[in-house]
Amino acid sequence: MTNGQEHRGAAGYGGGTPQPNPYAQPNPYDRPNPYAQPVPPQQQRQSQSQPPPYAAPPQPVGGLPGPLPRRNRLVVLLQFLLQWIYAPLWILGLVVVFAAIIAAAIFSNYGGDGPSSDGWLRVNRSFIPPRRLRAELTGRPEDWERYVTPVLRRRIAAAEASHAAGGGQVQVDLGREVSAELAVRLYRGLGAEGVVRVAERFGWQGAPSGTDAGRVRLVRRFPAPATLSAPSPQDPPAAPGTPWGPQPGRFAPLLPVIFLLQIVYVPVYGLLTFWVDRPEPDYWERWGARWTVGPRAFRAEFTGSPAAWERHVRRILKRESTRELGRSADSYGRLIAPDGTFLRRIQLHRATYRGAGAHQALRIAAEQGWMLDPAFAPDPANSLRLCRPDHR
């Protein structure tokens, strides 16, 4: 008998044994992939010596832009010296402009359109870090490579962290693709072909498209999880405090205080940290689940009533389902199988099912045909990613 934390026959939460489909409706991850394309016999023979299907073939470097001409040394030195003067003034000017825009909106009902580009906000685009100065002055590819490599390593690490947190574009084989880009100012003397060679050391490739003289785009594909370790909707309810069970509620008398103060501290926190690059694609949902309380979830969290939590889950599930089912099939583009099959996707955040438990939310969703999305590893502590087969 299970305790709600594992499939039948699994080794527990996180077990890896494939399980029979617990859902009554067709389940996309217990049958052949409907998105798979037929492979000619000749390609099948060639694929025996190829990397796994989720690893895109390396981008040929011959067709990518090479190094650009070195900039004038005197211009580079002048820019490096003067930037310590104009960069602070630029930032100060932006503060004044924003203050003027806010004042105009408050006192004169200004409703005009802003600039079509945010390039004027990017003071960093004209800033030469000291570490890049040597490469700019010498123009040698080896100096540029020494500068680009750590920059590229950080971009790749952030992109892979985003994938681990559920980011990336879902592919037709249910794997996910993450990408990273570098502007030409970061690799001028190395060229896009040199950047791709460096990226290949980390298991990344140049994108088949989107790489031009002004930027280079890199991608890496990750396979879908081999199995989904999660309780079945028919399993006994998960125990409270376990990853799939109801989570402890916050101190009830504190909730009204949070509810009132969040009107002030949420925008303040957002304004102070909007410039921070978050690797987690759902960072704000996670932060909100911890530091805010929604008006719809207030009654359920304040009372801790299982019935109130179930009503809240059903209300949010209905809203998300209606929104997703309202999308036309054509909007799924390349994710539609040759037979017209595709997967609709929604996401329920932890704040929606905190007091009910992820397992209970999964049971409610299964009643309406939703199931765990096979493209994502289950993460009940933060969100539930669900899918529902449909046909065009």
String of DSSP letters for 106-128: HHS-------S--GGG-GGGG--
pTM of the model: 0.68
pLDDT above 90 for 16: no
Q: Strand runs (DSSP E) across the chain, as ranges?
A: 169-170, 176-183, 205-206, 215-222, 341-349, 371-372, 383-391
**Residue carrying structure tokens 């000749």:** 42
Average pLDDT of span 256-269 = 92
Radius of gyration of the chain (CA): 26
* Structural contact between residues 90 and 207, judged by C-beta atoms closer than 8 angstroms: no
Tell me how far apart the alpha carbons of residues 280 and 22 are, in angstroms, rounded to a whole number. 30
Q: Where is average pLDDT lowest: 115-124, 126-135, 377-386? A: 115-124
Amino acid symbol at 30: D
Average pLDDT of span 316-341 = 92
pLDDT value of position 64 = 76
Instruction: Please report which residue ranges of 226-374 form alpha helices under DSSP H.
Output: 255-273, 283-291, 295-303, 306-325, 350-353, 358-367
- Residue with more model confidence, 102 or 356: 356
- What are the pLDDT digits (tens) for 359-390? 999 999 999 999 999 999 999 999 999 999 99
Q: Where is average pLDDT lowest: 53-67, 282-296, 339-353? A: 53-67
pLDDT above 50 for 121: yes
pLDDT above 70 for 218: yes
Angle at which helix 358-367 crosses helix 306-325, to 10 degrees, equals 50
Classify each residue of 129-168 as buried b or exposed e, where b means 16 or more C-beta atoms within 10 Å of its C-beta.
eeebeebbeebebebbbebbbebbeebbeebbebbebbbb
Band the pLDDT of 127: cuts 50, 70, 90: confident
Collapsed DSSP state (helix, strand, coil) of residue 282: coil
Tokens representing 148 are: 């680009």
pLDDT value of position 274 = 77
pLDDT value of position 28 = 42
Average pLDDT of span 113-134 = 69
Tell me how far apart the alpha carbons of residues 354 and 289 are, in angstroms, rounded to a whole number. 9
pLDDT above 70 for 242: yes
- Terminal CA-CA length for the chain: 40
pLDDT value of position 106 = 62
For the chain, count helices (H), then strands (E): 11, 7
* Structural contact between residues 118 and 153, judged by C-beta atoms closer than 8 angstroms: no
pLDDT value of position 19 = 43
Band the pLDDT of 2: cuts 50, 70, 90: very low
pLDDT value of position 101 = 72
Contacts of 363 (CB under 8 A, 6+ apart): 233
Strand order in the sheet with 383-391: 341-349, 383-391, 371-372
pLDDT above 80 for 205: yes
Band the pLDDT of 276: cuts 50, 70, 90: confident
Question: H or E segment at 104?
Answer: helix 73-107
pLDDT above 70 for 168: yes
pLDDT value of position 52 = 38
Tell me how far apart the alpha carbons of residues 102 and 96 are, in angstroms, rounded to a whole number. 10
Question: H or E segment at 78?
Answer: helix 73-107
pLDDT above 70 for 175: yes
Average pLDDT, the chain: 81
